[in-house]
Amino acid sequence: MACTTAVVKVAGEDRRDHTPTSAVAAKTVVEFADCIGVCTQSIAANAKGSLMFDGVVNLPKKTSLSVPAGSKVYWDKTNDWVALSTAHTYIGKSNAVNAAATTTIDIHLDQ
């Protein structure tokens, strides 16, 4: 739960309460049960906040990864980037073709 590079491009309406045991910075990708949310505003430890579970966010990806438009993508919490492997937690679908040379990808969160 350490990625602090999510850039919200289109805010969604699906928000769920979250009370973390340690502080969570804004723009952080958070694994929540069996899905992924994005913290849009900082949340103090043991304080109630919310996570966004839909909308469009820009996230880091491995530069060698080429992602076709509409592909299901997953969050690799070990490396803090988008992956195509189902061994990771599902996060949503890619919005556009992303060439291997790019370092980020626009994702439509789909939880």
pLDDT at 8: 84
Whole-number Å distance between alpha carbons of 16 and 69: 28
pTM: 0.87
Strands 72-76 and 89-94: antiparallel
Residue 3 binned pLDDT confidence (cut-offs 50, 70, 90):
low
Q: Would you say 28 and 4 are in contact if contact means Cβ atoms under 8 Å apart?
A: yes
pLDDT digit string (tens) for 42-100? 999 999 999 999 999 999 998 899 999 999 999 999 999 999 999 999 999 999 888 88
Q: Which two tokens stand for residue 67?
A: 């992602």
Asked if pLDDT for residue 4 goes beyond 70, the answer is no
Quote the DSSP letter at residue 1: -
